[in-house]
Structure 1
Amino acid sequence: MAQSQRETLARIEQYVTAARELQDDPMDLDASATEARLEQTVRELQERVRGQQAALEKLRISSSINVEQAAYASEDPREKLTQLLAVKEAYNQLTPTAPYLPPKSSILPALLAARTLQQNIHGSKEAITSTQEQMTKTEATLKSEEAHLRDAKLLTESMQDRITRLRDQHEDRLQKTPAQLAKELIAAKRAQKVHYDEEMDTLGNALNEFIEIHLSAMVAAEELGGPVVGDMFGVDNDTLASGFTKKGKAKSGKKPVSDKLRQRRIDQIWGDKAAAEEGETLTEAEAADNELQQLIGKLFTTLISSAGGKAYHELERDSAASRFLVRAKIAQFHPKDARKLRLIDFGRELDD
Structure 2
Amino acid sequence: MASSNETAVKNIREYAVEAHERQQSQMDVDASDIETRLDATRRELEERVTQHRIALEELRSAPQGSFHTKPSDDPRERLAQLQILRDAYESLKPSVPFLPSRNSLLPSLLAARTIQQTVSGTQEAITATKEQLKHSEQLLRQEESNLHDANLIATAMANRIERLRSQKEAKSQKTPQEVAKDLIDAKQRQKERYDEEMKKLGQAFEIFVDEQLAGMLAAEDLGGPVVGDMMDVDDDVLAIGFTQQGRLKTSKKHISEPRRQKRLDEIWGDTATTEEGQQLTEIDAAGRELRELIEDLFTSLVGSRSTDAYIELERESAASRFLIRARIAQFHPKDARKLRLIDFGRELDD
TM-score band (shorter)? 0.7 to 0.9
CA distance in 1: counterparts of 2:289 and 2:92, whole angstroms: 118
Matching residue of 2:44:
44
Matching residue of 1:16:
none
CA distance in 2: counterparts of 1:266 and 1:217, whole angstroms: 14
Query: Cα 1:120–1:177, aligned 2, differ >3 Å: closer, same or farther?
Result: same
Matching residue of 1:280:
278
Query: Cα 1:226–1:130, aligned 2, differ >3 Å: closer, same or farther?
Result: closer
Q: Which residue of the other structure, out of 223, 227, 249, is the alignment partner of 2:225?
A: 227
SS where residue 336 of structure 1 aligns?
Answer: coil
Q: What letter corresponds to residue 229 of structure 1 in structure 2? A: V
- Given that 2:214 and 2:283 are in contact with CA atoms closer than 8 Å, whether structure 1 keeps it comes out as yes
CA distance in 1: counterparts of 2:113 and 2:37, whole angstroms: 17
Q: Offset at 1:64?
A: 8.9
Name stretches of at least 5 consecutive residues in structure 1 with no aligned partner.
Answer: 1-21
Q: Offset at 1:50?
A: 4.8
Q: Offset at 1:304?
A: 2.0
- Given that 2:239 and 2:254 are in contact with CA atoms closer than 8 Å, whether structure 1 keeps it comes out as no
Q: Which residue of the other structure, out of 139, 145, 166, is the alignment partner of 2:137?
A: 139
- Given that 2:297 and 2:340 are in contact with CA atoms closer than 8 Å, whether structure 1 keeps it comes out as yes
Q: TM-score, normalised by structure 2?
A: 0.79
Q: TM-score, normalised by structure 1?
A: 0.79
Moved more, 310-319 or 114-123: 114-123
- Given that 1:274 and 1:281 are in contact with CA atoms closer than 8 Å, whether structure 2 keeps it comes out as yes
Moved more, 176-185 or 98-107: 98-107
Cα RMSD over matched residues? 3.2
The C-alpha deviation readout for 1:268-297, integer Å capped at 9, x for no partner, is 322222222323222222222222111111
Alignment of 1:98-109 (within 5 A): 98-109=96-107
- Given that 1:239 and 1:253 are in contact with CA atoms closer than 8 Å, whether structure 2 keeps it comes out as no
Q: Offset at 1:306?
A: 1.8
Name stretches of at least 5 consecutive residues in structure 2 with no aligned partner.
Answer: 1-23
- Count of residue pairs the alignment pairs up: 326
CA distance in 1: counterparts of 2:71 and 2:252, whole angstroms: 120
Matching residue of 2:10:
none
CA distance in 2: counterparts of 1:351 and 1:299, whole angstroms: 18
Q: What letter corresponds to residue 67 of structure 2 in structure 1? A: E
SS where residue 42 of structure 2 aligns?
Answer: helix
The C-alpha deviation readout for 1:277-332, integer Å capped at 9, x for no partner, is 32322222222222211111111111222223211011122222212222222211
Matching residue of 2:294:
296
Query: Cα 1:146–1:67, aligned 2, differ >3 Å: closer, same or farther?
Result: farther
- Given that 1:74 and 1:80 are in contact with CA atoms closer than 8 Å, whether structure 2 keeps it comes out as yes
Q: Offset at 1:184?
A: 0.9
The C-alpha deviation readout for 1:201-229, integer Å capped at 9, x for no partner, is 11112111221222222222222233322
The C-alpha deviation readout for 1:238-277, integer Å capped at 9, x for no partner, is 343444443434454536623x444343233222222223
SS where residue 339 of structure 2 aligns?
Answer: strand
Query: Cα 1:215–1:57, aligned 2, differ >3 Å: closer, same or farther?
Result: closer
Q: Offset at 1:65?
A: 10
- Given that 1:224 and 1:244 are in contact with CA atoms closer than 8 Å, whether structure 2 keeps it comes out as yes
Query: Cα 1:174–1:44, aligned 2, differ >3 Å: closer, same or farther?
Result: same
CA distance in 1: counterparts of 2:28 and 2:274, whole angstroms: 112
Q: What letter corresponds to residue 40 of structure 1 in structure 2? A: A
Query: Cα 1:322–1:29, aligned 2, differ >3 Å: closer, same or farther?
Result: same
Q: What letter corresponds to residue 34 of structure 2 in structure 1? A: T
- Given that 2:241 and 2:255 are in contact with CA atoms closer than 8 Å, whether structure 1 keeps it comes out as no
* 1:200 matches 2:179: no
Alignment of 1:1-352 (within 5 A): 28-50=28-50, 68-69=67-68, 73-77=71-75, 80=78, 95=93, 97-250=95-248, 252-254=251-253, 257-258=256-257, 260-352=258-350
